[in-house]
Amino acid sequence: MDKRLLTILRCPVTHKGLSVLRKDKLEKINAAIANGEIETHEGVRLETPLAEALVTDDGKRVYPVNDGIPVLLEGESIHVEQIV
């Protein structure tokens, strides 16, 4: 992810800054996806692991990155509190 792009990207809901989700957190989310425990904001259960993701500065919302393109749609976001 281009660092210059990260300086201008914001969460469309909270307007907080975004950063690349750390590998350990991504692995935790992907394990929860594999167990069928993760839904998007719209309530769609995720079945495919994330290759990359962005997280808000407060750590409460995650946005997937598909083929290097951030998907900054509220409905596609993941609320972190789902992850135990």
For 38-74, write each residue's pLDDT tens digit. 999 999 999 999 999 999 999 999 999 999 899 999 9
- Checking if the pLDDT of 1 tops 80, the result is no
Rounded CA separation 16/51 (Å): 22
Q: What is the pTM of this model?
A: 0.92
Overall number of domains in the chain: 1
Residue numbers of the domain that contains 69:
3-82
Q: State the pairing for strand pair 53-56/18-20.
A: antiparallel
Amino acid in the structure at residue 28:
K
List, as own/partner pairs, every contact residues 28-36 make where C-beta atoms lie below 8 angstroms and the sequence separation is at least 24, other chains included: 28/83, 29/53, 29/62, 29/78, 29/83, 32/82, 32/83, 32/84
